[in-house]
């Protein structure tokens, strides 16, 4: 069977556009596995610049997927990020939707 003739049984519009980017997916994956993470830790883990990471974190924050706590440690500003319950559920749904795509295309 060729790919052109293969019937796709999945609605791709169910994929969460907020999460569906390399950096935001990586951020969510890191935060799922940690209680909270500092900005610099996330920057290192997802291999992003300060500006790029900041933009992606803001998008996740505006969606209610992550929360941020800003504080000072030894007079230095520190931002700590945490996945919210809404974010955890959204990420879980995102992963399930990707798995459904794979399953539906194997048939």
- Strands of the chain (E only): list them: 37-38, 66-73, 76-83
Read off the pTM. 0.86
Cβ atoms of residues 24 and 56 within 8 Å: yes
Domain positions in the chain are 17-106
3-state secondary structure of 11: coil
Q: Any idea which fold 17-106 has?
A: Arc Repressor Mutant, subunit A (1.10.10)
Q: Which residue has the tokens 């790919």?
A: 3
pLDDT per residue as tens digits for the range 47-105 = 999 999 999 999 999 999 999 999 998 989 999 999 999 999 999 999 999 888 888 77
């Amino acid at each position: 069977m060729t790919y052109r003739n293969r019937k796709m049984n999945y609605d791709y519009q169910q994929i969460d556009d907020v999460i569906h980017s390399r950096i935001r997916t990586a951020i969510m994956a890191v935060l799922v596995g940690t209680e909270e993470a500092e900005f610099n830790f996330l920057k290192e883990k997802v291999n992003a610049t300060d500006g790029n990471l900041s933009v992606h974190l803001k998008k996740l924050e505006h969606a209610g997927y992550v929360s941020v706590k800003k504080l000072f440690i030894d007079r230095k500003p520190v931002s700590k990020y945490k996945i919210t319950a809404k974010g955890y559920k959204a990420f879980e749904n995102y992963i399930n939707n990707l798995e459904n795509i794979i399953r539906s295309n194997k048939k």
